[in-house]
Structure 1
């Protein structure tokens, strides 16, 4: 029995044409079926086999649209070439004896050849005043228990491919759409401007301010201003007795580094020309092949008599009121122009003098949008979304799906679902601008690698166009006809692949692709690893980029217990790394820490909170530099608005990375904390909350922590210090205060205070604003902070009479101990000792690794204490800077020698101190090499 049906009257038609004859066991085509002129075959067979060519063109449209369908077919096999202008429906239609006209899955569909839906002549070349015409959407539908494709299944025009079955194996097959990038009108305007104004000032080309219309009917005033490259074509002719000078100038913005622009002129129009603007972008596809995407724009303003407008569907003239999307008819565009190289280049030097609008200035304005979608949703149409635009592919496997080495490209949207078991996508090449995925695994393991290319090489962005013409007369009586075009391209050569909805279910989940999610994210897994890919992969490492503030991390990963990040995690809201348990995944709602979280990559969010039994963030030399909002090395975490808070219940390891809170504070807490070679940047406080121990690894550590608020120790652990850590508190605003709270024990003027007391290696107080204040408070009744080197800079050095530093406010329950102190690079250890009511205390007996490199103190001497120091200055010629406290009215001598076996002391300087004691510093420029020894003699004032 043979038959074909219409899309909407299938059952009725079959009832009329089918006889009660049993289906043939086999329909096989080994030759060529081309209809017309041949008749489209009516096929009623259990097995369908095509080894030849079938090219079918149906004549119906709209509700009479017809597809190639068969009756009673269980098995489809194609090794040849099949194409139908409207498409195919491959399933089993019960039309034989006892058949009730119902549809069900076929048993097997196997293609190793080529199957296309859509017209063979759907590619239309766009030339001047021509546009692409929409084709009727084509359909290629496969509904079968088993689907195998090792050939090509494609669309010859925008339409729909659906593959629905139990087991779908697309290994080494190709699903091909017909899409490229699309063109859309964003705004337009024409008119006459009579107000004279500047157009070009030799640095910028500036359009007049004119009203434009948007597709939604909105009106706005627009103006273009660009820093241009200038392309000029000039001509002169005589009209009667008047000399006519034609100046056509094209100003192309030269600041867009993504594209290369050029201009040539078609001079075949007589006295005037038509400029063609060429815009090129060199791109690399997913196979590593380089090619050039091109856009050509023509401006015929000089050869068109009036500003007609041209509709998108190709009609000329002023459009009807019901149509609100059109562009001035002096513009045309195309993606290819073979004759560009035959056009004439600029024939005049650059314009070096300003240009003004004069007289009656006719203008056209237009903004062309380049989209990665060949068809796009229409906002004015209800339920029009990216999920139902033409040019899409939908794959739905109920049991298993294999995408290994599968190519899927040139579609606008792909929906891929295999909720039971997704086998994998090794070496796949899936390149689509928008997609959705719903994948599961039955063996407890899923790897997302090469599932989706991170970007696709389709031009996207905007091109602003402005054309104007006016007439001027020069002193010689010659008429100048001005025709100017401003071209402002803002184009990206690549479009980031965007996932609308992403659902992945597996106990163990590895992601090595870039997942750029806009709407919904669900990763139902206990262990998540973002891994790096092998060299040559489409994505270098796994990335989760959430574009929606509605995507909440803890809700999107409801069962997560173990997180390892070797890639990037970026969200548009605050992120909470902890187990927030809720139904339907758990019987009751509760919160618990992750078992382990390891970050070797980069994490960015508005705010970050971590609660894990084990936490680790460690980095290397890898730098993440991509389209997202931060550029950090590995082992980095960035909270751009809110706080960065990490609590490691048992142990926290921080090494070789960056922690940053751009507008808030940083808090690190937990049982045992190891913080080594870490940069911490805080816009407010840095707060430490260790319960068992804290260490930076000692002097070998290279921690640098910068903040503008307070440096806080909430609880002192039994063990640990930070003697390899530099903490820089910078207060920039006038009258601003930094408030630090510290829980260290006050062990008096003793070296014991620097052991297991969270002693700090280097504390810098930098008061950059006038009258800034640094306050220190104890967490209890009597606390202290022990610092190897205390350094005061700028306004933090303010003091009154050397006994009270007004920039320091040390509460009565707090003491600051230091092994050495600098102010503006000068040793002030002695001067600072006992200042501020005795709350600043020098501990000269402690030999700190940091202070001893900067300051060398002489031991106390009989008859009094002489506090001296030596600092090496490396700016310019290296020299020693010797400092000591010169008492009032004392006589001071400084000597040097090069050995102590047979010393020959040389006087370097001597002086008598004035009535006020102060620190004196001398730079030794005489001894710049080798070992040098110094001695200082201070004679007290004579009575």
Structure 2
């Protein structure tokens, strides 16, 4: 039978009274230690030595706490099994360390993982919560103080439905020293607050000499709301050249950096000090600046009527606790408590909290100021302003003097932001340079980790490392800095809700100037009628601030290992990224697509994506450096030496936004329907099969496409350099409906003619800057001026040449005799001067079906290198002419030609209102004649060089129409006759089609 050691209520009381000694063991030699009644111990905490630890009540221990809040956590000996039941509440000051520890013969404690730690209740450590076990199961609550550490280590860690918070908890007394500390020789700022400048002086100078006293009448203008300003004053600040070097600056509030002008209110509290004196305290503060617009609301009160206190607060919703909370910052001015204003010494917080050592920071703060996140004690007894503000108060009509000497203090600090040391400048959120040792940290290390429905908060850092993330469905992590090293043995690892976009925290800067002076004035006693001298003491506090309620989350580093990895979060690691997966998907959920932003110094390559074969981007990928989308396979060369073989991705699918300095993409299957942008360089595609299904390709330099098959439809392409095409098998678009729009700035090169395909739905615009030469090379076959050249010959739908002044477009063939077939050729700008702007080599001919310049003039230009294919009727070169109620498709330019007369009526097409032959013009006649047999005689009018097709059918309803004969007319118009024997049986019906000669009257 197992022995059991149980704490009863009377025994717990004895322990509290200090009956037991600290050297005594709790439950020594027992198998089970069980606490089932509230136990509160503050000193002389004994050691638990038992195999099993069970807690089902409140267990509060604090024997290890030091004056600074740090110390050794409570732990046990020989314990393998820890259980904190649902009713259990464990509180440790400074915390708990739960593992298996044992004494060796040399009296050294050795530590190993416990077997099981099971927490269904609540565990809190003001500074420490360190759990190490083979199996950790915690559906309950784990919490630590604002500057504490929770560390969970185990083989199997199940945190499903857990609540973890490093940041205190309202259910427990938070004994952390997490706010301002005032010590006899100086002060310690709250974590995240850094001094930027400070001052104690008189009349605007630090020394008090050669200063300028206040011009009391002018103060009415100086302190006129809503545009008040403080007098200029000297301050001290640490130099950017070194933290130990102090410099003097001149400041005046409000600072132009924050744009607070014209947005100030004043709050007044007046006290009667004696029968002849009064104290008037005035606080100037912006109430309508950006911070207010962002939801940070100011409030001014007066502690005990003499301590001006400014509260900045903003409500927010805590997504972890799912409760409404407040972010607050308080500035208190205790000037009335002092007759002598001094500069206190600032001390380093980390050093002091570690071992109570005082290490000076080199900064100072006037002794009348306190800046804190928690409300000062005077806030609870504070009073609202009791007097409406009027600037007349500064210079009463019976004032004895019009000038006053004044003392002043000044101070500025940044809050959770960068420190420029020299004063009020632009700031940005600050993060810990080394989050591995940051306070306010949650650290999880597990072989198998379950985070399903877990809700996690840390004031500074969440660091999670696991080889197998079992699940994180609807988990939520809330921290300003997060670190992940994730793996999965399952087929798919989903990364979701692990990285929020923002964290609720004040950040920005605040500045304050306080001044104190006395104004004497005469006053007539209402009873005696005598005139007497009275005094008004002024205490003005002028505050300026710029704050933001949220900071962006810093994903410090991120790595993941899985066969298939799906990212649902927006990931932007600042230092390192490694995704070891065969398949990577950036999810594109509606309204909130995932994103992946690489560290600033990192490019995309095999080092960060060593096994990647399949990339699907439905969200956003941003890369500031070059991107190399390929992998490396270790192998041996022909000499048996180790080498790396470049391997393309099997699938590269981009339906989102992908931006890099430059792109080099090797893929078996490439599909882009999103945006692919090279912001600094070019785009290289090395593909087996490539498709542009809509979307956008944009590069500052060349777009170089090499593929076996390449198809494009409804795509936009912009090349700051050249467009280079090398497609071996099929280069095609979707025909006239493709609507591809490609723009280039250094010409187009087709290195070889693909076996099949054309780009007849594509418009290529070639632009040339002032006085530049752009070269074009094309590899189409030269079949002459025939429509056959527009089929399977890399023919273009539209080619636009747009040149600035003195630009030159040069064209050449890829071989000895090539051609470029273009449905529509357009010239813009200087390019309209083809004699000067266009140069075609002798190994290339450009054939076009239509142009924006007169084809009659272009045809045969440049030594016959420009030729018009007027027989071709493409999408961009044809029109439908309605003849006898039916459409006839003709070359548009041919209908506008002065050198063509389609109906042979002697009127050029361009001038002919009816340029095409109609049925009325044919004048078809049918009669019967005997020769001697009965025959049908057909006669009609045929125009010159036309072709007449005679057809017949025996059934007008079902057809078919069969050819009878065809006749080509000579060079003159004339009437043609055809005889057809009349056969017994079914009747015959005839029709004649006269196809005019499509040609020119002169070449």
**Which residue number in structure 2 is paired with residue 828 of structure 1?**
854
**Which residue number in structure 1 is paired with residue 473 of structure 2?**
426
Point out where structure 1 has 5 or more consecutive residues left out of the alignment: 4-14, 119-137, 350-357, 374-382, 474-478, 619-634, 868-883, 887-892, 903-943
CA deviation vs aligned residue, 1:682-729 (integer Å, no higher than 9, x gap): 222222221111112011112222332222222221111112122233
Query: How much does 1:568 deviate?
Result: 2.7
- Indicate how the Cα distance of structure 1 residues 512 and 481 shifts in structure 2: closer, same or farther if over 3 A, else same: same
Query: How much does 1:736 deviate?
Result: 3.2
Q: Is the aligned partner of 1:573 residue 2:622?
A: no
- Indicate how the Cα distance of structure 1 residues 246 and 885 shifts in structure 2: closer, same or farther if over 3 A, else same: farther
Point out where structure 2 has 5 or more consecutive residues left out of the alignment: 7-20, 169-177, 179-189, 206-210, 216-220, 350-357, 392-403, 420-431, 520-535, 881-889, 903-907, 921-1003
Judge conservation of contact 1:142–1:164 (CA < 8 Å) in 2: yes
User: SS where residue 823 of structure 2 aligns?
Assistant: strand
CA deviation vs aligned residue, 1:874-909 (integer Å, no higher than 9, x gap): xxxxxxxxxx999xxxxxx89899xx999xxxxxxx
Judge conservation of contact 1:372–1:433 (CA < 8 Å) in 2: no
**Which residue number in structure 1 is paired with residue 729 of structure 2?**
692
- Indicate how the Cα distance of structure 1 residues 857 and 102 shifts in structure 2: closer, same or farther if over 3 A, else same: closer
- Indicate how the Cα distance of structure 1 residues 406 and 322 shifts in structure 2: closer, same or farther if over 3 A, else same: closer
Cα distance in structure 2, aligned partners of 1:35 and 1:765: 88
CA deviation vs aligned residue, 1:848-882 (integer Å, no higher than 9, x gap): 21244799736479994489xxxxxxxxxxxxxxx
User: SS where residue 554 of structure 1 aligns?
Assistant: coil
Cα distance in structure 2, aligned partners of 1:141 and 1:489: 39
**Which residue number in structure 2 is paired with residue 740 of structure 1?**
776
Give the number of aligned pairs.
782
Judge conservation of contact 1:252–1:261 (CA < 8 Å) in 2: no
Q: What is the root-mean-square deviation in Å for CA atoms of aligned residues?
A: 5.2
**Which residue number in structure 1 is paired with residue 452 of structure 2?**
404
Judge conservation of contact 1:818–1:843 (CA < 8 Å) in 2: yes
Q: Is the aligned partner of 1:391 residue 2:440?
A: yes
Counterpart selection for 2:485 from 424, 428, 438: 438
Cα distance in structure 1, aligned partners of 2:434 and 2:857: 73
**Which residue number in structure 2 is paired with residue 546 of structure 1?**
598
**Which residue number in structure 2 is paired with residue 627 of structure 1?**
none
- Indicate how the Cα distance of structure 1 residues 720 and 858 shifts in structure 2: closer, same or farther if over 3 A, else same: closer
**Which residue number in structure 2 is paired with residue 117 of structure 1?**
125
**Which residue number in structure 1 is paired with residue 943 of structure 2?**
none
**Which residue number in structure 1 is paired with residue 661 of structure 2?**
606
- Indicate how the Cα distance of structure 1 residues 747 and 297 shifts in structure 2: closer, same or farther if over 3 A, else same: farther
Output the TM-score relative to the length of structure 2: 0.67
User: SS where residue 699 of structure 1 aligns?
Assistant: helix
User: SS where residue 165 of structure 1 aligns?
Assistant: strand
Query: How much does 1:45 deviate?
Result: 1.6
Judge conservation of contact 2:23–2:46 (CA < 8 Å) in 1: no
- Indicate how the Cα distance of structure 1 residues 775 and 261 shifts in structure 2: closer, same or farther if over 3 A, else same: farther
Equivalent positions of 1:36-435 (< 5 A) are 36=42, 40-58=45-63, 61=66, 65-79=71-85, 80-95=88-103, 101-118=109-126, 138-178=127-167, 183-185=192-194, 187-188=196-197, 190=199, 192=204, 212-213=237-238, 216-217=242-243, 224-228=256-260, 229-233=262-266, 250=285, 254=289, 259-260=294-295, 263=298, 265-266=300-301, 276=310, 278=312, 280=314, 285=319, 293-295=327-329, 308-309=342-343, 311-312=345-346, 322-327=360-365, 332-335=370-373, 342=384, 364=410, 366-370=412-416, 385-398=434-447, 400-419=448-467, 421-435=468-482
Cα distance in structure 2, aligned partners of 1:20 and 1:486: 57
Equivalent positions of 1:623-702 (< 5 A) are 635-649=674-688, 651-661=689-699, 663-702=700-739
Output the TM-score relative to the length of structure 1: 0.71
Cα distance in structure 1, aligned partners of 2:743 and 2:761: 15
Judge conservation of contact 1:265–1:345 (CA < 8 Å) in 2: no
User: SS where residue 784 of structure 2 aligns?
Assistant: coil
- Indicate how the Cα distance of structure 1 residues 851 and 857 shifts in structure 2: closer, same or farther if over 3 A, else same: closer
**Which residue number in structure 2 is paired with residue 928 of structure 1?**
none
User: SS where residue 719 of structure 1 aligns?
Assistant: coil
Judge conservation of contact 1:656–1:677 (CA < 8 Å) in 2: yes
- Indicate how the Cα distance of structure 1 residues 235 and 414 shifts in structure 2: closer, same or farther if over 3 A, else same: closer
Query: How much does 1:307 deviate?
Result: 7.5
**Which residue number in structure 2 is paired with residue 721 of structure 1?**
758
Query: How much does 1:22 deviate?
Result: 6.2
Judge conservation of contact 1:430–1:450 (CA < 8 Å) in 2: no
Q: Is the aligned partner of 1:562 residue 2:551?
A: no
- Indicate how the Cα distance of structure 1 residues 335 and 97 shifts in structure 2: closer, same or farther if over 3 A, else same: closer
Q: Is the aligned partner of 1:710 residue 2:715?
A: no
User: SS where residue 830 of structure 1 aligns?
Assistant: helix
Query: How much does 1:730 deviate?
Result: 3.5
Cα distance in structure 1, aligned partners of 2:120 and 2:829: 77
